[in-house]
């Protein structure tokens, strides 16, 4: 995605405050009923082969997104109810829909591709024709991607002649290269953070930034399992473990931002006055008792012929998920719930999770673009195989709030509906919404113009396109 954002301009962009700003479209208008969107394109926009970006390119991009043979799942949600795309002239695009959707504008942050290049159909993956300030110069698989500033782009606006993206999968190797000044930006793990703070070499060449993530870590309950059908059981499981202590241990030194609902910490969509689940094993036991689950002689609760035993599915390649699974298993055992850990490789995990074939499973929702509409994840119509409601959550009140929010074009009223979703899910949780945690990045002291956003370092405008070298002689960013 970061390479793509250097090569392609979106139709509209998002700034660091999640507001829409011009990109290929310099202006736009939406009808009051949310059914018609009118975009006017930048007359100066050109592809890197010198041809003009036109309304035909936008229309073609939308056609490809809607093509079921194309893997465009990241964007198809915004165009499923498309009525038509009109291109009355090269600079005008009019897009009509069958129904209003309040977050529709986020769909238009998709990268626009060249219709002429795609129709030629040759070399597109390795020789893309882009509209951004950089073009692909070279790509050595599993080693590096090199972008070069376009000849028709001003060095005053984009001072880096080249951008080099290096593939360094080993965290230790990456940290050493960054500490030695061989990289201009690089991710720093929590373990490496302590070394970065103490190492003179790191400080002489870099600064350490704590970068937000617009994401939520959650553990999903599968309501197909009758053991989890009662919300008291799910609330008991949320209260049985000490998430604050786990956050401090897993994300030193400051921990993570604990959550009580489906939105990232600090987002205005969060309802006020709903605290994260407290660590309350006694309260957890009372909830399980009230739900009719009695402690058995073997330390596992029972109701009729059911044992309160759950399979916890998780990807073994992610240490955080491994740690959460172990912490949760141990805590649940103390309140009479048996948790059977089932580690899987990533491919097997994602297949089973998407199909809803689990009892309990962790996941991470990263909101790129920053669309906090929870309809795809928790509306009752979105269960597998159709949608992303992998836990088969069904709550008529939540459904009504989600449906109303999608149609509500008034931002203030829509915000209150999102907050109502939060309140409803706090009482009847589809998941244990755990936390969102910042990441650490090393940034070269040679860089200026770096800004942070709730979205992080990337995926907003101008983002890295605004970075500048301290020295005017700098030629390259890595």
358-391 confidence digits (pLDDT tens) = 999 999 999 999 999 999 999 999 999 988 999 9
| Predicted confidence (pLDDT) at residue 264 exceeds the cutoff of 80 | yes
Task: State the Cα–Cα distance between residues 136 and 6, nearest whole angstrom.
Answer: 9
The tokens describing 93, both together, are 């695009």
Site of tokens 């070279």: 138
Q: Looking at residue 348, what DSSP letter applies?
A: H
Environment class of residue 380 by beta-carbon count within 10 Å: exposed (0-12), middle (13-18) or buried (19+)?
A: middle
Residue 185, Cβ neighbours under 10 Å: how many? 19
Q: In what order do the strands lie in the sheet with 301-303?
A: 294-295, 301-303, 306-307
CB contact set of 290 (below 8 Å; sequence gap of 6+): 232
Q: What is the mean pLDDT of residues 25-53?
A: 96
Residues 6+ apart with CB under 8 A from 221: 228, 234, 237, 359, 360, 391, 393, 429, 430, 431, 432
Q: What is the pLDDT of residues 84-112, one digit of tens each?
A: 999 999 999 999 999 999 999 999 999 99
**What is 83-121 written as a DSSP string?**
EEEEEEETTEEEEEESS--TTHHHHTTSBP--HHHHHHT
pLDDT at 71 over 90: no
Nearest to 135 by CA among 145, 150, 115, 114: 150
Q: Rounded to a whole number, what is the largest CA-CA distance in the chain? A: 77
Q: Give, as one character, the DSSP assignment of residue 226.
A: G
Q: What is the pLDDT of residue 475?
A: 59
Comparing 118-122, 313-317, 353-357, which segment has the lowest mean pLDDT?
A: 118-122
Torsion of CA 397, 403, 409, 411, to 10 degrees: 40
Contact status, residue 371 vs residue 107, Cβ threshold 8 Å? no
Cis peptide before 385 (omega within 30 of 0): yes
Structure tokens at 299: 């330390």
Helix axes 396-407, 411-427, angle to 10 degrees: 160
Mean pLDDT of 152-165: 95
- What is residue 110's predicted lDDT score, i.e. its pLDDT? 96
Q: Is the pTM of this model over 0.85?
A: yes
pLDDT of 124 strictly over 90:
no
Give residues with Cβ within 8 angstroms of 127, minimum separation 6: 136
Residue that has been written with the tokens 């059977």 in this structure:
340
Tell me the pairing of strands 476-477 and 162-166.
parallel
Instruction: Tell the burial category of 159 from Cβ atoms under 10 Å away from its Cβ (0-12, 13-18, 19+).
Output: middle
Q: Is 405 helix (H, G, I), strand (E, B) or coil?
A: helix
Distance from C-alpha of 25 to C-alpha of 94, rounded to nearest angstrom: 12
- Predicted local distance difference test score (pLDDT) of residue 304: 92
Q: How many CB atoms lie within 10 A of CB 41?
A: 25
Residue 472 pLDDT level (bands cut at 50, 70, 90):
low
88: burial class by Cβ within 10 Å (0-12, 13-18, 19+)?
exposed
Residue 146: pLDDT band with limits 50, 70, 90: very high
Q: What is the pLDDT of residues 280-315, one digit of tens each?
A: 999 999 999 999 999 999 999 999 999 999 999 999
The model's pLDDT over 203-212, given as tens digits with 9 standing for 90+, comes to: 999 999 999 9
Residue 142's pLDDT is 93
Could you give the CA distance from residue 71 to residue 363 in angstroms, rounded to a whole number? 22
pLDDT computed for residue 122 by the predictor: 72
């Amino acid at each position: 995605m970061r390479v793509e954002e250097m090569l392609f301009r979106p139709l509209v962009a998002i700034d660091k405050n999640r507001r829409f700003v011009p990109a290929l479209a310099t202006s736009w208008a939406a009808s009051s009923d949310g059914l018609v969107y009118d975009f006017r394109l930048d007359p100066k926009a050109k592809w890197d082969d010198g041809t003009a970006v036109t309304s035909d390119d936008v229309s073609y991009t939308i056609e490809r997104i809607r093509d079921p043979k194309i893997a465009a799942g990241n964007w198809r949600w915004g165009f499923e109810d498309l009525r038509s795309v009109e291109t009355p002239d090269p600079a005008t695009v009019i897009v009509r829909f069958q129904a209003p959707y309040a977050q529709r504008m986020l769909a238009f942050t998709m990268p626009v591709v060249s219709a002429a290049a795609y129709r030629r159909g040759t070399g597109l993956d390795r020789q893309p024709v882009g509209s951004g300030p950089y073009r692909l110069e070279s790509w050595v698989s599993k080693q590096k991607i090199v972008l070069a500033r376009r000849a028709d782009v001003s060095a005053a606006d984009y001072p880096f002649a080249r951008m080099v993206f290096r593939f360094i999968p080993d965290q230790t190797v990456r940290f050493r290269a960054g500490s030695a000044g061989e990289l201009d930006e690089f991710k720093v793990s929590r373990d490496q953070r302590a070394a970065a703070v103490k190492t003179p070499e790191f400080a002489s060449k870099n600064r350490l930034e704590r970068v937000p993530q617009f994401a939520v870590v959650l553990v999903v309950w599968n309501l197909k399992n009758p053991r989890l059908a009662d919300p008291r059981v799910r609330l008991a499981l949320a209260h049985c473990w000490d998430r604050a202590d786990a956050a401090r241990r897993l994300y030193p030194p400051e921990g993570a931002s604990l959550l009580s609902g489906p939105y990232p910490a600090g987002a205005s969509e969060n309802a006020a006055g709903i605290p994260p689940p407290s660590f309350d094993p006694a309260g957890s036991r009372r909830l399980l008792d009230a739900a009719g689950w009695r402690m058995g002689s073997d330390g596992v609760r029972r109701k009729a012929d059911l044992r309160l035993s759950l399979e916890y599915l998780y990807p073994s390649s992610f240490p955080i998920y491994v740690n959460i699974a172990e912490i949760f298993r141990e805590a649940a055992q103390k309140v009479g719930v048996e948790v059977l850990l089932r580690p899987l490789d990533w491919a097997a995990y994602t297949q089973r999770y998407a199909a809803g074939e689990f009892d309990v499973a962790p996941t991470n929702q990263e909101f790129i673009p920053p669309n906090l509409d929870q309809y795809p994840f928790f509306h009752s119509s979105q269960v597998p195989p159709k949608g992303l409601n992998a836990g088969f959550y069904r709550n008529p009140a939540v459904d009504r709030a989600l449906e109303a929010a999608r149609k509500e074009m008034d931002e203030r009223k829509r915000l209150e509906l999102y907050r109502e979703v939060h309140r409803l899910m706090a009482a009847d949780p589809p998941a244990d919404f755990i936390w969102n945690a910042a990441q650490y990045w090393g940034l070269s002291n040679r860089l200026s113009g770096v800004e942070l956003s709730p979205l992080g370092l990337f995926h907003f405008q101008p983002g890295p396109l605004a970075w500048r070298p301290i020295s005017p002689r700098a030629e390259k960013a890595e």
